[in-house]
Structure formats: structure tokens, C-alpha cells
Amino acid sequence: MTNEDHEALFESLLNGSLPDDEGRFGPFGGRYVPETLMPAIDRLTAGVHRYLPDAQFQQELQSELKSWVGRPTALTHAPRLSDRWGAEVWFKREDLAHTGAHKINNTIGQALLAKALGAQRIVAETGAGQHGVASAAACARVGLPCTVYMGEIDVARQAPNVDRMHRLGAEVVPVTSGDRTLRSAIDEAIRDWVSDPKGNYYLLGSAIGPHPYPYLVRELQAVIGREARTQLLERTGLPDAAFACVGGGSNAIGLFHGFLADRSTALFGVEAGGRGVELGQNSATLASGRPGVLHGTHTMLLYDDDGQIQETHSVSAGLDYPGVGPEHALLQLVGRVEYVTASDDEALAALDECCSLEGILPALESAHALAGAKQWAAANRGKRILVGMSGRGDKDMPILADYPVNRSKGSVDAAA
């Protein structure tokens, strides 16, 4: 593809004609699902086109976002971190949303949609448990039973979130097949969905999967970027750069969409660099993957020469996924967003710095966005930077216990 082709694709994205009728974002996307699910996918697509623009549906959604989720979330200036980095740093505070992360924007929207479509039951997957908790909460709110599939490794390492899901009335099914983490949980949720495609509604938690999910999730998360842009214009001005962490990429696509047309704002997705660049040591799909098909979509993936999907690593369970949303693959292809990595250690250091300088404990996922921003700020002094604070880090306390704060090295730095 030539530069003109890329520019034309990007223009199509900006003017709203992507995804197209086949669910494609240029070469990426589509609907690679078992035949049993095709009628369900068609029904869901029709439902999305009917209800998302519907005034009554939007009224109900906006009301829930305001009074139940707590939107708009704050835009917070970070003065001490700004001094440290030599930049003007702002946070979009999705960590302040109900249940502690951006996930709730999507789950309440889809739960309302499921209700409107007459679903009897919600099926969801979860990795770290954030989407599971947000699904359980949204299902309780709209009055639908909820089953959450969760890899048994994640069940063990995220026990507090399992308890939260139970309290919120969801059934949590530990998945013992495959890699026993998020990827296997998605496989199992799809198997459940296939068993009754009419009565079940699959509430997918990221901007991945078959069309219309990447579109639906992006539309429900775009509130992040819309709010952030308005808030920045009220208080300071457009940012020179915006950073968001990318696993499947739902908070990133939501943040980026507010700024796609603002070409003066450089956009950066930060993937999990894990322990290193070797296959299996990271979850840096866009940085080191190749095109392939997994979980219903054609996108960038981590797989070996035989086409077998690779196990991934990140200290952050929410980024620990071998694929990425197809729209991110397009944004990388056309060059509108640059995708970089932050290692486990860089993310942990950024988390400590944010805690000690700003009094905010970010999720390990969000700490990757901070680490990416910090690297960029060091090379670009005096710039205005927006960081997507996708979630709060309370859920990560059991993991952080393995990484004690190093006071002598000054993450709590009295001299700063």
C-alpha cells in the first residue's frame, strides 16, 4: 500500500465510514466465527445500528453514565510529576469511574443493549477481573444473570476480584483448558455463547473479537477522549501528545478517538514490553507481532511459524493478551498512532513515581502509559502531555507485594 492509500484509509476512518459493512478497518477486522454464531452476529449488528443512535437508548445510557458510573471523570493536572519530567502532565481519570476502571463504560452500555435485544443471560470473560467485576455490576444494575469465565491462574492471582464478582451476583467459572488465562477464558466464553446463540449475550470486554464488537466497544469508550478533549480545551489547550496503554486496546481506542483529527496531537499506544523482546516474554503485539486471525478478527497477533498462538507475559494481567483490536492495527498501518513498549520494571517505577508525587495509585496497566509518557517527555522537553489513567491500582496490591518500594533509591524522594 502506498502513502496515498494509507491517507485515504485514515480519511475513511475520520469520516466514519470504517468499519465498513463487512466489519473491516481496511485490511483488518471482519467476522471469523463458527457458522453457528453468524445469525447471532447479524442480529447483534442490526441491534447496534438500531439502538446506539436511538434517542431513548442514549438518554438511558447517558443517565447511567452520569448518576451510576460517575461521569464525567476528572481531568487532573499533575504538577509535581510535571516538574520532575519537565513537561505539563494531565491525567484523564478513568480510575475514578465506578468499579475503578474504564471497563464500566462498556459494560453498562452493552448490558443495556442486551436487555433491549431480549437476551436471557450474559456471558463474559475476564483476565485480571476488572471487566468481570464491571460486567457483574452492570448485570446487577439491569437485572440480568451473569456468568464470567476466568482462567484458573487468574482466579488464583486475583482472588479479591473473584469475591467482588460473587458479591455482585455473578457466577465465576474457572477455566482449566489452554493457557488458563485471558485467552482461554475468551475461548470458553465463545463456547458458551455457541451453545445458545439466541438466549445468550456475549459481553466482550475489549475492542477485539468479531465485528461489531470492535466498533461497539470503541463507540462506548469514545466518551473518554470526548470528555478529555473538552476538559483540556477549557483548562489549557490541546495536548502535544497523548498516551494510553494497549492490551486489547479499549481504553486507548476510546481516548484516541477524541484526538484523531487533531494532527498536532501525537498519539502513542504503550504495550507491555514485559521482561524482554523474545517471543513469550512480552505482550507487545503491535511492536513485534504479525497479521493473523484469532477470536473472530484479523489483526496483529503473536504467533509462531506454525500459526500457533503464543503465550504472553506482562506483570499487568490486563495487558497479557496475544492480540489487539483491529482498529489499532489500522492506526499503526496508516501511521496515525505510534505503538511503543514499556517493560515490567519501567511500569513499576512509573507506578511508584505517580504514587509518591501525585498521591494516585494507578493500575499496573495504566502505569505502562505513564512509563511511555515519561520516556517521551525526556526526549521532548516542555510539552503538554495527556496520560490515560485507565484504572486504579488497588486490585494490584497482591502483585505489588512482590515489588517492595525501594525507599533508598528515592521513589519516595525527599529531595524532589
Partner 1 sequence: MLPRDQLSDALKLEGRPSLVAFFTAGYPDRDTFLDVLKEVCSAADAVEIGVPFTDPMADGVTVQRSSQVALENGVSLGWIFDQLAGRDFELPAPVLLMSYLNPLYAFGFEDLAERALETGVSGFIVPDLPYEESGPLKQALDAKGLALVQLVTPATPKERLAKLCSVSEGFVYAVTRTGITGSSEGLPNDVSDYLAAVKSASSLPVCAGFGVREQEQVRRIAEHADGVIVGSALLEALEAGRSPREFLESLRP
**What span, in angstroms and rounded, lies between the C-alpha atoms of 18 and 273?**
30
Using CB under 8 A as the binding rule, whether residue 117 contacts partner 1 is answered as no
Q: What is the smallest separation between the CB atom of 117 and partner 1, expressed in angstroms? A: 16
Residues within window 273-302 making contact with partner 1, judged by CB under 8 A: 292-296, 301
Q: Pick the closer one to partner 1 by CB: 33 or 87.
A: 33
Using CB under 8 A as the binding rule, whether residue 34 contacts partner 1 is answered as yes
Give the residue among 62, 386, 69 at the shortest CA–CA distance from 235.
386
| Radius of gyration, CA atoms only, the chain | 20
Using CB under 8 A as the binding rule, whether residue 118 contacts partner 1 is answered as no
Using CB under 8 A as the binding rule, whether residue 305 contacts partner 1 is answered as yes
Q: Pick the closer one to partner 1 by CB: 101 or 301.
A: 301
Q: What is the smallest separation between the CB atom of 296 and partner 1, expressed in angstroms? A: 7
Give, in degrees to the nearest 5, the angle at Cα 345 between 105 and 391: 15
Cell numbers that stand for 411 in this block? 521513589
DSSP 3-state assignment of 275? coil
DSSP state of 341: E
Q: Pick the closer one to partner 1 by CB: 4 or 305.
A: 305
Q: What is the smallest separation between the CB atom of 309 and partner 1, expressed in angstroms? A: 4
Task: Kindly determine how many residues on this chain lie close enough to bind partner 1 according to the rule CB under 8 A.
Answer: 37
Residues within window 306-335 making contact with partner 1, judged by CB under 8 A: 306-309
* Identified binder of partner 1 from the candidate list 187, 219, 320, 352, rule CB under 8 A: 187
* Identified binder of partner 1 from the candidate list 215, 243, 303, 339, rule CB under 8 A: 303
* Identified binder of partner 1 from the candidate list 36, 59, 62, 264, rule CB under 8 A: 36
Residues marked active site are found at: 103, 125, 390
Distances (CA, A) of 354 to 225, 252, 385: 22, 20, 15
**What span, in angstroms and rounded, lies between the C-alpha atoms of 195 and 234?**
50
Using CB under 8 A as the binding rule, whether residue 120 contacts partner 1 is answered as no
Cell numbers that stand for 65 in this block? 453514565
**What span, in angstroms and rounded, lies between the C-alpha atoms of 225 and 242?**
10
Cβ-contact 369, 390 below 8 angstroms: yes
Q: What is the smallest separation between the CB atom of 299 and partner 1, expressed in angstroms? A: 11
Cβ-contact 319, 285 below 8 angstroms: no
Using CB under 8 A as the binding rule, whether residue 177 contacts partner 1 is answered as yes
DSSP 3-state assignment of 354? helix
Q: Pick the closer one to partner 1 by CB: 38 or 397.
A: 38
Give the residue among 364, 366, 322 at the shortest CA–CA distance from 344.
364
Residues within window 198-257 making contact with partner 1, judged by CB under 8 A: 198
Residues lying near partner 1 in the complex (CB under 8 A) are found at: 22, 30-36, 38-40, 177-179, 183-184, 186-187, 190-191, 194-198, 292-296, 301, 303, 305-309
